[in-house]
Structure 1
């Protein structure tokens, strides 16, 4: 679409989005995967907030759920019928991998065997808490990549007693690590030696290295939230599916943070 075309924009959009010979109508697909009612989906499309393979969609657009990339406000909407989304309370000692050469237990032993899924980022073997697992690669990459700025919140028990106000300020301002300065963190100390720490980056073992840098190595590390998702009722080793509202909230969170940088890269954080 270009000014040189000479036709009204709506005509150019209509050509760019002409119906395919097969596939479901876009508004029906969005409603079927839980992204609001069909009327809500129609309103989103009419507002120009939905794209298919990078092109602004119009009402009546048909999509191939297996091959087309559908996005709302720049965040991918998984439309394949076999997509699953789990949250798992990972216990300490369980590794985030499909198999382990040292015969340690893996997260795959705690989850359904089908369909095949993968974690959204990683937690090291000693870290506990919320782990998101899915087979929706597009959304997983957007959540995990640090440019999107999806917050990850941790409850951290550190050694050497209460953390001094000056060290808390260092965490809030950024810590110089061997791979560069960290972004400012949100941090509070609800009780001496216990930190509630929120970051949006995902460098390898970042939380542990940040705490070591201020002289308070980590004794215990538990992730409690990723973006808008948390569940304090899950016991260690338990999992459940996301609700439609939770999936939509995550999509909205990713969409709200796409201005932070390139959304195309992959990242695999291990706090």
Structure 2
């Protein structure tokens, strides 16, 4: 049985003219034959794996669309109608290429208009990506929210949160919420999340109040499992404001009461003329 993504692409290839396909030396049949089978849907988002850019035909087609100024002079072609139909056929509203989380943030060139950069804005200076920000996400269709510098160069406001695009999924009966342009999500730890629900050490505490502490809690990957397992209180801490906002929204969706306290840890340096 053909998967939903492949079926959607097959239905939508008619939106790309043969003239354009000829200009990049490919054809609809070649695109369909080299389409990755894997994909993920976190409603209302369709995520395409980054391996699609390793397929020559798709690489030529997509690079001319998402980054025409860096596409080796490939002709730019508006693939908007194509992705609109792909989104409709998969019952989604947004489409993006999901790439591995980079280990470092890379700055934009000084003369680059960040509003035209398809990738999520990175830090103003090259630095270790300690927040595990998905700066290599490539939006293809839909409004994912404005490009923003990474924390701590920019502390997101309530207005930033409202303008962002949020998605959700349910694992082990627990709802999780995040903004894919600013926050990572790993579906691979679903087994570990389930294991936490039945840990003997957790089961032995069912008859008395107990507290769980989750450092670097993210959007609630494991904190929510402890809450579902019966913890009277779960204390969470994280560096990434986008993750804590996702955790807050997820807790609300799960029907849990919560108290949020946001604080910034700043390094205080003594001036050179300060007394010892």
Using the size of structure 2 for normalisation, the TM-score is: 0.26
| Structure with greater proportional helix content | 2
With a CA cutoff of 8 Å and minimum separation of 6, indicate the structure with the bigger relative contact order. Answer: 1
More strand by share: 1
Query: Could you tell me the TM-score, scaled by structure 1's length?
Result: 0.26
